[in-house]
Structure 1
Amino acid sequence: MKNTVEYKGYTGSVEYSDEDGIFFGKVQFVRALIAYEGSNAEELRQDFHDGVDDYLSMCKEKNITPEQPFKGSFNVRVGRDLHRQLALEATRRGVSLNSLIVAALKNETHHAV
């Protein structure tokens, strides 16, 4: 079972409350709170789409840039020794440190892409 929904580049969680008898979720990977719910999968999906559309409309009305879930960069603390090893390996291969790390991450997540 897939526990996420996607729309216009935004990913939302999907959870179920047995107590309330509803599906619910919120948009992931952004600070803005965009929550939604539904009594079945179709209602949940529609409320998710409406929530994203409302958020984008509100941003347009207020002339602000909507948050994007991923900007394409992030910081990783690897420690001094590993940083040195990675830099030396990149030099040995004749590639940038960034290229080496991107290749390693792609190799580790090949099943998720």
Structure 2
Amino acid sequence: MNNVLEINGEKAIIAFDPEIRMLRGEFIGLSGGADFYAESVNELIEEGRKSLAIYLDMCREKGIEPRRKFSGKFNVRLDPKDHAAAVIAAAAAGKSLNEWVVGALREAAEEPQYGA
């Protein structure tokens, strides 16, 4: 995935913030916010490690589950024409719409990831 960095087993989205001219990381999949900033990639990784450690310590102290729970269900709103096209594509692939969507999501999420 573009702009995804794994730090100590947690995924973070990385972006450049032009207002402050720094890299910004934000952990995803956590039950609360944990972001971090730096001027270089190496500094960003180190700041990410620190931010994550502080967040996890705070969760332990307060008895909070640090990671979001995912149900495995979500609703998607789309144009009826896109819905019909997806049903046709799924049928042509010999799959249910759910199987086809899951496959498309997995394929989209399988881009290379960079760890730290």
Which range, TM-score by smaller chain? 0.5 to 0.7
Q: Distance in 1 between matches of 2:96 and 2:10?
A: 29
The one-letter code of the counterpart of 1:6 is E
Q: Name the SS of the counterpart of 1:26 in structure 2.
A: strand
Dislocated runs of 4+, deviation >6 Å: none
The one-letter code of the counterpart of 2:38 is G
Matched with 2:12 is 11
Higher relative contact order (CA 8 A, sep 6+): 2
Alignment coverage as a number of residue pairs: 108
The one-letter code of the counterpart of 2:14 is S
Q: Which has the larger Rg?
A: 1
Matched with 2:63 is 63
Question: For each residue in 1:50-106, what CA deviation from the matched residue of structure 2 results, as whole angstroms up to 9, or x when unmatched?
Answer: 1012111211221111134x8355432123454355446656765432102222444
% identical equivalent positions: 25
Q: Unpaired runs of 5+ in structure 1? A: none
Q: Distance in 1 between matches of 2:63 and 2:78?
A: 39
Q: Quote the offset at 1:42 in angstroms.
A: 2.4
RMSD: 3.7
Matched with 1:43 is 43
TM-score normalised per structure 2: 0.60
Q: Name the SS of the counterpart of 2:24 in structure 1.
A: strand
